[in-house]
A and B are shown apart, each in its own frame.
Chain A
């Protein structure tokens, strides 16, 4: 009897030890044949267009990689939950992804405020948030090892725009028309900071909501300051309305669109956008670059959707994630991912955009170029430019 009890005790002990070892030795979200990733996305409401674009881009690229054999034999899985762009829902989605789905990392979740709400959870669970659909420097300044931005942030975009307008065009009175909320706040700070370097002040600032149907008050306020140039960091609809107000009133300052809206506004504003300068963070969807063609084909094949600016952004993020994971071999942990990503130096995305992460900087890109709207189309007139501090 005693012998039997002894055997049972030994077996139970062995079982407990093995279970404990499994729990501690294994990285969450990485199994023998799978790597799980996830995101919170606005799939309904006013921001469903960028949200679902990010989602389809990530999903299609991961499916494409899986068809090529996956990441060293492991298939990539991507789970997205709708958060309606509401922070409380983003937190719920993040908790579900970590606890129920057991994801390894978050890939291209959407929004600044929503991602900021998830930050404490990501930090507590030591989970990487790669390429949030946001150009806010909030996540990378100061350096946070868990956050990676892949596009030039809003602050740096403003520096690039001001450099171009002041240094190349010799303009001194520059105004800003922004989007209400975080984008407006950050771009205003960015433009103000850069203008200070030249001993200048922002000539005027006003902003609009994404749903605004009239921006005549903002137009009058900005025009009354008499700026030579207006940088536009509003959402597509008010940005279009502003250009139409300029045309209607026959007022033609240099108008410069910030990166996120550069491919939508020329089409929406039609003739009113003629001659407008657009910041481009990566090539437009109409581009014939082989990498854009590839993205177009992948999107068509796996999710049957057209590409747009946001899908290209999501595609770049997914591509970098895959590159880093491939380099890791079988040692896939949060720490190893961060370490490997920080080895990327001028890594070519295939789009001309080069990505660099270092152990002290996770702003992957400081690059953009300018195009001009001619005959309703964007015509590139500068090379890739990099912001210098």
Chain B
């Protein structure tokens, strides 16, 4: 029994079981929250690649998510013959193209200046969502039709949840592969020391742009799933405040950490639940405090805390064994 508790595989297996069986023991509200956390996890994974691993900041990720969401909504309503998997990928690709455009200034800008440039892009896209009425229906928004892949219809909350969980899993595997590749190592080298990275033959311009493109692709995929999950979109879901929330997910969860992306997304999705009805008036204050306190006392976020705890338990276990 003690061996089983120590076994990482047992815990992972249990975790998978809990995730997969969630709709069977939870109501649609919990399943919806879990789906939303899944969507945010994908955004957070992409943003962490850019911010945590490459060291480039973006305050415009809600705009990429919005691009993905609108691509899905427009294609599904105007060209319903296109199968959903293609719509999903197209949403990611269109956001990636915008990521390429935004990524170009990143070659010349860094730090605050890059943040301001991305902020400007975020504002431009908010205006586009609102004012390109023929395409986006402006502030009145678009009702998104139900989607299906072959015989599987994603109409119920549970079916949407499974779709999102599968995509989250794929994106985690993709992230792990990117980080283990030459590209991932180049991202980290750029973040740690640009000049040193360049002197080792890393093409800064190429990798910085690629980081933006990949990050925006993730956001586009998340946006597509957001549209499917909500069945309705308008510009209000892609404002500056939402971009800040995504950034907070990365910081609070843990920069440069896949686990951090997941924990940050889950934590900020369930924060209103933690606050309850009594303290919800102070939600933004609490969010701000959490961010400041994380930066001061827990710079590696929730994932850092998790690994420290893990190490401590392991150390305690071996000490007990030793005695």
Contact = CB atoms under 8 A, between A and B. Distances in A.
Interface of A: 43-45, 48, 52, 79-82, 84-89, 91-92, 95-96, 98-100, 111-114, 116-117, 119-120, 138, 180-186
Nearest to A87: B237
Interface of B: 27-29, 32-33, 36, 130, 133, 138-141, 143, 226, 229-237, 241-242, 272, 277, 280-285
B272 A82 contact: yes
B159 to A, nearest CB: 15
24 contacts: A45-B284, A79-B277, A80-B277, A81-B272, A81-B277, A82-B283, A84-B283, A85-B236, A87-B232, A87-B236, A88-B36, A88-B226, A88-B229, A92-B29, A92-B272, A99-B27, A100-B27, A116-B141, A117-B141, A117-B230, A182-B138, A182-B139, A182-B234, A185-B138
A185 B32 contact: no
Contacts of B32: 91-92, 95
B230 A87 contact: yes
A138 B272 CA distance: 29
A180 B233 CA distance: 17
A359 B141 CA distance: 27
A120 B231 contact: yes
A113 B143 CA distance: 11
Given A52-B281, A98-B29, A185-B140, 19 more contacts: A44-B283, A80-B277, A87-B234, A87-B236, A88-B36, A88-B226, A91-B230, A92-B33, A99-B28, A100-B29, A112-B139, A117-B141, A117-B230, A119-B232, A120-B143, A181-B130, A182-B138, A182-B234, A185-B139
A85 to B, nearest CB: 7
A116 B230 CA distance: 10
A56 to B, nearest CB: 11
Nearest to A80: B277
A357 B304 CA distance: 58
B235 A181 contact: yes
A87 to B, nearest CB: 5
Identify the interface centre among B277, B283, B285: most chain A CB within 10 Å of its CB: B283
Nearest to B233: A87
Contacts of A114: 236
Contact of A116 (B229, B234, B283): B234
Nearest to A45: B284
Contacts of B285: 44
A87 B232 CA distance: 9
B141 A113 contact: yes
Nearest to A138: B140
B273 to A, nearest CB: 9
B139 A43 contact: no
B36 A96 contact: no
A115 to B, nearest CB: 10
Contact of B237 (A88, A112, A181): A88
Given A88-B36, A91-B230, A138-B140, A113 B28 contact: no
B280 A81 contact: yes
A134 to B, nearest CB: 11
A113 to B, nearest CB: 4
Nearest to B280: A82
Given A113-B141, A116-B141, A117-B230, A43 B283 contact: yes
Identify the interface centre among A80, A81, A87, A99: most chain B CB within 10 Å of its CB: A87
A220 B64 CA distance: 33
A114 B29 CA distance: 17
Contacts of A185: 133, 138-140
A92 B36 CA distance: 9
Contacts of B130: 180-181
B230 A88 contact: yes
Contacts of A84: 241, 283-284
A92 B143 CA distance: 17
Identify the interface centre among A48, A80, A99, A119: most chain B CB within 10 Å of its CB: A99
A175 B157 CA distance: 46
A91 B283 CA distance: 17
A354 B33 CA distance: 41
B281 A43 contact: yes
Nearest to A44: B284
A57 to B, nearest CB: 16
Identify the interface centre among B29, B133, B226, B237: most chain A CB within 10 Å of its CB: B29
Nearest to A43: B281
